[in-house]
Amino acid sequence: MRVALFVTCVNDTLFPGTGQATVRLLERLGCTVDFPSAQTCCGQMHFNTGYRDDARPMAQRFGEVFEGHDVVVVPSGSCAAMVREWYPTLGVQPPGGVYELSEFLVDVLGVVDVGAYFPHTVTYHPTCHSLRSLRVGSRPERLLSEVRGLKLLPLGGAEECCGFGGTFSVKNPAVSAAMCTDKVRHVLDTGAEVLCAADNSCLMHIGGTMHRQRAGVRTMHLAQILASTEEDPS
Amino acid sequence: MSRTFVGMPAFPVASAKAVGDAQLRHNLHKATHTIRGKRALVVGEQPDWMELRSAGAAIKDRVLRHLDVYLEQLEAAVTRAGGHVHWARDAAEANRIVTSLVKATGETEVVKVKSMATQEIELNEALARAGITAYETDLAELIVQLGDDLPSHILVPAIHRNRAEIREIFQRAMSEWGRPAPDDLADEPAALAEAARLHLRERFLSAKVGISGANFAVAETGTLVVLESEGNGRMCLTLPETLISVVGIEKLVPTWQDLEVFMQLLPRSSTGERMNPYTSMWTGGVEGQDFHLVLLDNGRTDVLADQVGRQALRCIRCSACLNVCPVYERAGGHAYGSVYPGPIGAILTPQLRGFATELEESLPYASTLCGACYDVCPVEINIPEVLLDLRAKVASSGHHRAERLTMAAARRVLSSPALLSAAQRTAGRFRRLTPRRLPGPLSAWTDTRDVPAPPRESFRQWWERRESDR
């Protein structure tokens, strides 16, 4: 199957490893991956902060860049939600087949066991937009539970927001930090080595807090764990 | 007299203060998680919950579409039943009407049923200026009134207080208002409730004027409905010779049968109960009672005119969105600077008041857009959608020039592959110089979190290299 990757500006700029892992995973599962290099940003930050006139050209650009691609895979719940849920508000009709990574794997490819190997304890933060906008449900956890060697530990208060919220994190830093402190406490309570999520912006927030606290827990995007194999570990 | 929300600081300032109050954090965490759990349990056992909430939304939308018709129908029905209907354009007019009605009775004391509308118009303060004392009879409202405090929750106005604090307030202030608290008052819920009961009993028996709001007003029959849990409402509604009800114009439902939907939605969403303990319904006054209905606009028709924002008028004041909101849980209700706190307040207050001050402009941003509020709303108010719409209005107000310029600059980079790539290369080259503290407004990020160092190579650079190697 031929798929186009919308890597997202955050992954492109700060977390290229997530994009590389997504490519590695999709190719291993038999997909041919295109990366239309004219792609940039979905416009989520501008839209969510109220700057619709700035967000609209980015939405239009997205529509033009991915026109003619039947399947677009996005390794970010919130960017996929931006495209599918909010582009119509900007007067832009989103392209048909935009999928968040776990949706694509489970619903389109129909795989749950992606042949990954990751011998570590992992806890999963479901992230708000995957959960309540895209309604991906338990797809990511189902994918993770099939990974050989991986022990998935349940996260307390999993469905509660980590407090990132894009510009919320700098507009309301006190509340944002308080929310993240509680999220980190739940993560540490699991005793897991790795905190996993399908959105690097949330992980940047939780991971940045844990790094500051020298908490000793790694953050990894879902794609990186699913891409990991015995021969080529993440 | 009691304090009001006038002149409150913007949300980021007020909430930062609240976040630092450890006792408040504990009280709110405990209370919101308790109600949250109860609600989830009783909503989960209702197999047709999603259909019920759609029905609730549809009924309210119908009311809003034909508000003029239903209001006149209500007025005619109430009048037919012997009541008197008054129309109030704003808070000042409503307060004038109520004050003159009370004055006409010659009384200087009134008892009150818990009511959001009268809080919104600050009726107690207006009555006090006219020499009339209003006694709150809901337990939580009593705690707020005795503590010279402000409400911080729609359903449980004293949610920010724990029982030790309540005991202290009762012992200190009850004697100033009437029957004092017993000297040996314990901080057990039963003892506190008993002290409140004895304190309030003499009010109920002596009051000649009662003031209430209403949860619903049935246009077809002219029936008003109050749901409460303590029985104080029943006393205030039935014992006084004069009853004055201040009701927002959006509280209507078309027919008696429509109530069936809301009688299921409201208790399960608000108190987490299957059925409401005390439901009072009256059409005109109870026997021999002089009944006045004050219909309040106070910004509601402005909200109705907004295509996106008008869904906020479906709100039945259940508080489910407050109880589930992670921001409300940390910030507390006072930070929202209004009697309507939490997610619903963040969309209602700026719409009712307009973007009058920095506070109203900050409220649409008092959310991470996590969507938990929309999920629990019994009338399907898409709170994130309204927040986003209000943010667009704030951003285009011209008040935030620096942010607008920053956003425009970011847009230029983020909509050009060439500029984005150049920025990535620069960041990668100077990655070792990534500061531990970011400058300007971004310092708010590095106050509590580290920034990831930019990678040597961005994804698109890696992809180009890979493609050229092939």
* Same domain (yes/no): A46, A101: yes
Please indicate whether, in this complex, the C-beta atoms of A12 and B451 are within 8 angstroms of each other: no
Q: Domain for residue A174, yes or no?
A: yes
A61 touching chain B per CB within 8 A: yes
C-alpha to C-alpha distance for B168 and B166, rounded to whole angstroms: 5
Contacts of B368 in chain A (CB under 8 A): 128, 161, 163-166, 168, 176, 179
Please indicate whether, in this complex, the C-beta atoms of B411 and A54 are within 8 angstroms of each other: yes
Whether B348 and B60 have beta carbons less than 8 Å apart is answered as no
CATH number at residue A64: 3.40.50
C-alpha to C-alpha distance for B220 and B227, rounded to whole angstroms: 19
pTM, two decimals, is 0.96
The ipTM value here is: 0.97
How are beta strands B278-283 and B223-228 bridged, if at all? antiparallel
Q: Domain for residue A113, yes or no?
A: no
* Same domain (yes/no): A65, A150: no
Whether the pLDDT of residue A132 is over 90: the answer is yes
Q: Domain for residue A232, yes or no?
A: no
Residue B287: its pLDDT value, please? 79
With 0-12 CB in 10 A as exposed, 13-18 as middle and 19+ as buried, what is B188? Answer: exposed
Half-sphere exposure at residue A18, Cβ-oriented, CA atoms within 13 angstroms:
28
- The DSSP element (H or E) to which A151 belongs, if any, is strand A151-153
3-state secondary structure string across A107-147: HHCCCCCCCCECCCEEEECCCHHHHHHCCCCCHHHHHHHCC
Residue B7: its pLDDT value, please? 81
Q: Domain for residue A158, yes or no?
A: yes
Please indicate whether, in this complex, the C-beta atoms of A39 and B427 are within 8 angstroms of each other: no
* Same domain (yes/no): A142, A163: yes
Q: Write down which residue in A52, A82, A108 finishes a domain.
A: A108
List the structure tokens of A158: 């999993």
Please indicate whether, in this complex, the C-beta atoms of A174 and B452 are within 8 angstroms of each other: no
- Chain A nearest-CA residue for B365: A168
Nearest to B450 among A17, A41, A212 (CB): A212
The sign of the dihedral angle between the CA atoms of A78, A82, A85, A89 is: positive
C-alpha to C-alpha distance for A23 and A31, rounded to whole angstroms: 9
In B220-371, where does DSSP find H-type helix? 232-238, 259-270, 300-304, 320-324, 326-331, 342-353, 358-362
Q: Domain for residue A171, yes or no?
A: yes
Domain that holds residue A144: 121-227
Contacts of B411 in chain A (CB under 8 A): 46, 51, 54-55, 57-58
Residue B1: its pLDDT value, please? 43
* Same domain (yes/no): A79, A168: no
* Same domain (yes/no): A223, A125: yes
Q: Domain for residue A176, yes or no?
A: yes
What domains can be seen in chain B, in order of their start residue?
11-300 (3.40.50.10420), 401-469 (no CATH)
* Same domain (yes/no): A137, A164: yes
Q: Write down which residue in A108, A133, A161 finishes a domain.
A: A108
Residue B2: its pLDDT value, please? 56
With 0-12 CB in 10 A as exposed, 13-18 as middle and 19+ as buried, what is B82? Answer: middle
* Same domain (yes/no): A95, A140: no
- pLDDT tens-digit map of A95-124: 889 999 999 999 999 999 999 999 999 999
Q: Domain for residue A234, yes or no?
A: no
Q: Domain for residue A154, yes or no?
A: yes
* Same domain (yes/no): A144, A178: yes
Q: Write down which residue in A108, A143, A163 finishes a domain.
A: A108
Contacts of A174 in chain B (CB under 8 A): 12, 15-16, 19-20
Whether A144 and A196 have beta carbons less than 8 Å apart is answered as yes
How are beta strands B209-212 and B109-112 bridged, if at all? parallel
Nearest to A13 among B424, B449, B451 (CB): B424
List the structure tokens of B203: 């009010």
Task: Count structural domains, chain A.
Answer: 2
Which of A6, A7, A9, A12 is the best residue to mutate to test the B interface, defined by the most B CB atoms within 10 Å of its own CB?
A: A12
A156 touching chain B per CB within 8 A: no
Q: What is the mean pLDDT of residues A151-174?
A: 97
List the structure tokens of A230: 């015995």
- pLDDT tens-digit map of B61-101: 999 999 999 999 999 999 999 999 999 999 999 999 999 99
* Same domain (yes/no): A135, A217: yes
- pLDDT tens-digit map of B125-167: 999 999 999 999 999 999 999 999 999 999 999 999 999 999 9
* Same domain (yes/no): A141, A93: no
Q: Which stretches of chain B drop beneath a pLDDT of 50?
A: 1
Q: What is the mean pLDDT of residues A212-227?
A: 97
* Same domain (yes/no): A125, A220: yes
Nearest CA to CA, how far is B298 from chain A (Å)?
A: 27
